[in-house]
Amino acid sequence: MEIDKAIRDSDDRRLKAKYNTAIYVIQRALALYSIEEVAFSFNGGKDSTVLLHLLRAGHFLHQVEHGHSNGDLSDHQFTFPIRTIYFESTSAFPEINSFTYETAASYGVQLDILRQDFKSGLEALLKAKPIRAIFLGVRIGDPTAVGQEQFSPSSSGWPPFMRVNPILDWSYRDVWAFLLTCKVQYCGLYDQGYTSIGSINDTVPNALLCIKDSAADKQKFRPAYMLSDGRLERAGRARKVSPIAGRVPAVSNGLKCTEPHQSSVLTASIVAVGDEILFGIIEDQLGPSLCRKLHSIGWVVSQIAIVRSDVDSVAEEVEKRKSTSDMVFIYGGVGPLHSDVTAGGVAKAFGVRLAPDEEYEEYLSQLFGDKYTGDRNEMARLPEGITELLQHEKLPVPLIMCHNVIILSATNVDELDVQWDALIDSRSTALTSLGPFLSKHLTTSLTDLEVAQPLSKISFEFPDIYIGCYRKSRTGPLTITFEGKDEEKVEAAMEALSVKLSSVVK
């Protein structure tokens, strides 16, 4: 079976682990329900395309296990035996419609086309057919995944059936790793910068994939698999636009299609975990170093917090920061000791549990060998369903990323340097360089009282320039700093203040 073979032949351990879990879920469902009792909800989207091929492989393996097939791995001509439903809508992209029909034809899939809304369509279907379980390509991070597990009964108010979500814990990156590794066809819209597809009324290409090319009259987009931060997968679906504007790829999620540094500033929060820092026994050196690194790539650090080494303190801080910052960096409290509570705190902040992560466990056992036994397995328990491992050749063990929270295991500045370089190199985080800040400063021996009024006027006139002040001693000169991304504006702000201050001197 070519899908199973492609995954087994691949050396992507994470993908293998995700594949195995999905196949396990599919096989359990096929053991629980007869083939007449299951259905597959297919809509030509990338997630349901992944699921189609997983179902093909899962059903094939199920047959082999039960002695119904000769197990011939080159068996391509397998007719797809699971009832497949497609809710066709007049507002679907024509490319999605044709891909759905063509794919069905290629893999022997019999499509049941439903032209009602989901609920009425399912009510009618369940009256007519003995369906008890429906496979869906829902993934954690989808708005509809909230509260769902791999097997979730339909919600109240819906007809009764089991929703089976074999790829619930797959990330955006896993989806693309699967489609590219298995070399299967996917809808052509994904090669035109669409990263998640709804209807023509609410979907445009993802502005984060826009290629700036002033020579061309039409904007171009990179393919969906190039999106480095899966969190932003739905950026092209955030805003409802008119049907005509929906096909014009100029605006998405309020972001103009420009180089990111021209239109946006991203913010980061830093969380250090450690009672010893709060007791004053050791000093946090990673926080200031991270601030410099983030500033150098054009990010704004909005906060550094130091929290106690307990799960609730970590969870409370991460919960606040993850929704107000684009990225949260957390360090300290990583390891197998009783005080190593960071992973647990992050899990709690996202409302998930800690569960063994096979892939991470493998890295740890390679690193620690035989010593890695017993309680040390604790280290391989990571937030379930939301963890992405960020591998890099320079790192002995991958970094852990849970949505927009990156757990750093560095304990000193040298280790941080290595992890930072790996993050910058890694295309799977959103840590893109936004273009550096331009910094200028001037010093004055005027008093704070003399400077206050002109300075507040200038701050008001230049709202997008960060104007700050510091002094090294109460009696020494005052340094005024100007930070911004537009050199001319930074200089204009500094010049304007100089003029105002010189008139104070006179």
Ligand X SMILES: Cc1cc2nc3c(=O)[nH]c(=O)nc-3n(C[C@H](O)[C@H](O)[C@H](O)COP(=O)(O)O)c2cc1C
Which residue blocks in 118-218 are alpha helix, DSSP H? 118-128, 172-181
Please enumerate in sequence order all residues whose Cβ is within 8 A of that of 318, keeping only pairs 6 or more positions apart, or say none: 271, 328, 330, 345, 346, 349, 405
Burial of 70 (0-12, 13-18, 19+ CB in 10 A): exposed
86 touches, from Mg ion, ligand ATP, ligand X, none (C-beta below 5 to 8 Å by class): ligand ATP
Please give the residue whose beta carbon sits closest to ligand ATP in the complex. 45
Nearest-approach distance from CB 246 to ligand ATP, in angstroms: 15
C-beta of residue 467 within 8 angstroms of C-beta of residue 489: no
Is 136 one of the binding residues for ligand ATP (CB under 6 A)?
yes
The tokens describing 199, both together, are 């209807």
Residue 230 or 398 with smaller CB distance to ligand ATP: 230
Contact call for residue 252 and ligand ATP (CB under 6 A): no
**CB of 133: closest distance to ligand X in angstroms?**
10
Q: Which does 154 bind (CB under 5 to 8 A by kind): ligand ATP, Mg ion, ligand X, none?
A: ligand X
Identity of the residue, 139 or 348, whose beta carbon is nearer to ligand ATP in the bound complex: 139
Task: Select from 342, 423, 356, 347 the least CA-distant residue to 386.
Answer: 347
What is the smallest separation between the CB atom of 483 and Mg ion, expressed in angstroms? 41
Each residue 68-97 as x (binds ligand ATP by CB under 6 A) or -, in order, gives -----------------xxx----------
Among ligand X, Mg ion, ligand ATP, none, what does residue 99 contact (CB within 5–8 Å per kind)?
none
Member of 18, 38, 41, 313 binding ligand ATP (CB under 6 A):
41
Nearest distance, CB of residue 91 and Mg ion, angstroms: 12
> CA quadruple 303, 309, 312, 313: dihedral positive or negative?
negative
CB of 192 to ligand X, least distance (A): 19
Give whole-number Cα distances, 494 to 168, 432, 467, in Å: 52, 29, 9
Query: What is the Rg, in whole angstroms, of the alpha carbon atoms belonging to the chain?
Result: 27
Instruction: Kindly tell me which of 205 and 274 has the beta carbon lying closer to ligand X.
Output: 205
Q: How far is the CB of 309 from ligand X (least distance, A)?
A: 40
CA distance linking residue 115 with residue 348, whole number of Å: 41
Q: Which of 14, 17, 29, 48 binds ligand ATP (CB under 6 A)?
A: 48
Residues that bind ligand X (CB under 6 A): 41, 118, 134, 136, 144, 154-155, 158, 163, 198
Tell me the C-alpha to C-alpha distance, in Å, between residue 302 and each of 111, 216, 437. Answer: 51, 38, 15
- Alpha-carbon distance of 419 to 227, in angstroms, equals 21
CB atoms inside a 10 Å sphere around CB 19: 29
Q: Which residues bind ligand ATP (CB under 6 A)?
A: 41-43, 45-48, 85-87, 136-138, 142, 196-197
